[in-house]
Structure 1
């Protein structure tokens, strides 16, 4: 849908199908996790719908096949693996750990004579958890957190008072890592629980900025759950508080600025998922301004905020908005070699998605293979990556080459 006439014809078709169902614009928008303004723009031919995943979302909301909306669309996409009852996650053990009360046995014993916690060992274990999270090594992370989370939960309740603030901090950081991993494995319900526990532990640590870091993880979970109103509310209230704090400080800390910039980036994602192009671009602009104040790539609160990561997120937002040309232009100028494997793989994945949107299959496949080489778990489990691979196979049809077919098989993304 590149011409105004094509967009108007598509919009008219959407409006007609919606009216046949007796559904209002705002009702359809709410059903598919979009805003009323986005839906209005689609029906008026202002907002293009070029991505197959958004097209499928709209078709599902209208209760029609893809080709009813777009006759030239590839065959129907199958149900994503994350929606399948057969899906097994690398984080299954970690999911069990956060099910129910973490240490019910502590409630029934006298803890007055408990021994002090081994803080150096616990610090090392939590740092290791974040290394595994940044490396997308989810099976190892799940195995490590199986004993670590209950141990931390136990010592937070039984250690001497003087040790509890630091133990609460370690517990919050552990739950933040777990929430981040659950988001990347597309398990947002578990991510929500982990982020909420991270917030509670952070408050007890006496480190208020850790609360904001935990809120960032909560917002990511809301986005994956398509609770965009909740995501926007949580992020906006945190941004307002942080902005007042940084504006009131003569020399605001780099840590506070990193949090502020990261929350602007996640707000950009919220607006992009809602189809609010202007708001998404505005938040990217504010994140860039904040990154200039930070002036360097940092890893405060394991957010990797700085100029480079801001541009990586700008690429991702552009892809979400369907602006593949802009995503490619920005992405080609990024040197992400100093960032984590996860960030480098994410950039390669989004570049592959951008080229897939432009039907440049060779370039798309090259970037997706690059991302897989960096982080197989990301490409094999990330819904957006698997959708892009599936689109490439569908578009290529019988001409799909062996490399593409092999990648689709490894990612369980064959049509």
Structure 2
């Protein structure tokens, strides 16, 4: 869709929505999207090109697909209604990762290198991470399409400041990879993580390479390629331990090392390796004690608190609900990001569901949704837990659970 077509389409969506007396947040809830996504569609920022998404939007507005897009054949629209919707608020970002990231910079012939505005680019990357940590994926998607092209071009034209730009580029791609993993878009996350590692190596900052490897290991966990996750993170741990000084180790290196142990614990838990998962949690706890505080080096949020959050998740994955609740209820996570606090509440909700504590589970999930609405809708385990609670409650399911299931698209 051209910019003009997107704006015209968005105007039709807004007109139909207003004619039915719906607010943007009401339409968003009806179609399992966010108000930010609806706003971007209506402003012509977010393209709607897939037939299944178009059908979803038409159903939410109570109109036909042809009313929204007259050029779409009726037969094609009918076929789209049988397609399972797999899109999310990062659709626009996914497009920005497709193909070569800076073709115009390859073709441009310049006598002098350009001087990038490092301060402005740094602020842009910080903004990407703020949106990622807040699980505000619709806003992040738009920001990515603006920031990544500028960074990719600057990396090719920066001259003497190339290392600084490549470092920022790596940090940006790590934010993208983290967001895609959380939205269950592992293939796109793989591309982003790989680009992050490559850019970090060109920056001359080896610890950023290891941080990128951490993102890649999470991709493999999400893809259920647990052997690859274990190999990727395990080889990084071995290399780091061989080079970190035993006396007065850099805290940044400890943050990366501890985070890699946590992803190893996750992979072990997902593959049912109970003893190995606990061993990796113990390794991470030891590193956290050595670090002595909660930090956010490389946006990893590693520290004693985050280790315990992962211990809760690991216990839930292993089916040890009692242990998960014992550990989780002692955690004070107020200083961590909304996304991380939301994840803890989701895991506590899963643990309560395993114990069939219906009220407590619903409360945890609702609080998680309040902290990071977009996370609960795209968290695979959260949606599975909501479906399980619906089955447990049966016909007497509380109205707040039924409404949550609809918002999370977890009714099927």
> Displacement of 1:87 after TM fit?
2.5
Could you say if the C-alpha distance between residues 143 and 287 of structure 1 is closer, same or farther in structure 2, counting changes exceeding 3 Å?
same
Who is 1:148 aligned against? 147
The answer for the alignment partner of 1:174 in structure 2 is: 172
Whether 2:195 is the aligned partner of 1:200: answer no
Q: Which residue matches 1:275?
A: 272
Counterparts of 1:352 and 1:253, CA distance in 2: 36
Task: Judge conservation of contact 1:112–1:158 (CA < 8 Å) in 2.
Answer: no
After TM superposition, the structure 1 = structure 2 runs for residues 103-252 of structure 1, keeping only pairs within 5 Å, are 103-160=102-159, 162-246=160-244, 248-252=245-249
Q: Deviations over 1:274-323 (max 9, x none)?
A: 11000000000000000000000000000000000000000001001111
How far is the alpha carbon of 1:123 from its aligned partner?
A: 0.5
Matched, 1:359 2:356: yes
Q: Look up the match of 1:327.
A: 324
How far apart are the structure 1 equivalents of 2:239 and 2:387?
A: 42
Q: Give how far 1:251 is off.
A: 1.3
Q: Take 1:360 and 1:126, find their aligned partners in 2: how far apart are those partners?
A: 41
Deviations 1:319-377 (A, max 9, x none): 01111000000000000011111111111111001000111111000100010111111
1:59 is aligned to: none
What residue in structure 2 maps to residue 373 of structure 1?
A: 370
Cα distance in structure 1, aligned partners of 2:305 and 2:292: 10
Aligned residue for 2:291?
294
Residue 307 of structure 2 aligns to a residue whose secondary structure is: helix
The equivalent residue for 2:405 is: 408
Q: CA RMSD in A?
A: 1.1
Structure 1: distance between partners of 2:204 and 2:340: 30
- Using the alignment, how far apart are the partners of 2:196 and 2:338 within structure 1? 24
**Structure 1 residue 114: deviation in Å?**
4.0
5+ residue gaps in structure 1?
A: 1-82
Does residue 336 of structure 1 match 2:329? no
Give 1:250 deviation, angstroms: 2.4
- For the Cα contact (< 8 Å) 1:137–1:377, is it kept in 2? yes
1:90-105 to 2 correspondences below 5 Å: 90-105=89-104
Q: Secondary structure at the match of 1:120?
A: helix
* Aligned residue number for residue 24 of structure 1: none
How far 1:397 sits from its partner (Å)?
Answer: 1.1
Counting matched residue pairs gives 331
| Distance in 1, Cα, partners of 2:83 & 2:390 | 21
Structure 2: distance between partners of 1:84 and 1:369: 29
Q: How far 1:380 moved relative to its partner?
A: 1.0
1:401 Cα shift? 1.2
Q: CA deviation at 1:395?
A: 1.4
Unaligned runs of at least 5 residues, structure 2: 1-81
Per the TM alignment, residue 138 of structure 1 is displaced from its structure 2 partner at its CA by 0.5
Distance in 2 of aligned mates of 1:339 and 1:346 = 11
SS of alignment partner, residue 142 of structure 2:
helix
1:275/1:84 CA distance change after superposition, 3 Å: farther
2:88 maps to 1:89: yes
Q: Report the equivalent of 2:303.
A: 306
Q: How does 1:10-89 map to 2 (within 5 A)?
A: 85-89=84-88
Aligned-partner Cα distance in 2 for 1:393–1:219: 33
Corresponding residue of 1:399: 396
Alignment partner, residue 265 of structure 1 = 262
Does the Cα contact within 8 Å between 1:272 and 1:280 map onto a contact in 2? yes
| SS, match of residue 251 in structure 1 | coil
Find the aligned partners of 1:84 and 1:273 in 2 and give their Cα distance.
29
Residue 69 of structure 1 is matched in structure 2 by none
Q: 1:113: Cα distance to partner?
A: 2.8
Q: TM-score, normalised by structure 2?
A: 0.79
Following TM superposition, the consecutive aligned residue runs of length 4 or more in structure 1 with deviations greater than 3 angstroms are none
Retained in 2: the 8 A contact 1:171–1:198? yes
Q: What is the alpha-carbon distance in structure 2 between the residues aligned to residue 368 and residue 173 of structure 1?
A: 31
| Residues in 2 aligned to 1:211 and 1:163: alpha-carbon distance in whole angstroms | 19
8 Å Cα contact 1:311/1:330 also seen in 2: yes
- Once the 2 structures are TM-superposed, how far is the Cα of residue 413 of structure 1 from its aligned partner? 0.5
Aligned counterpart for 1:390 among listed residues 387, 390, 393: 387
What is the match of residue 32 of structure 2?
A: none
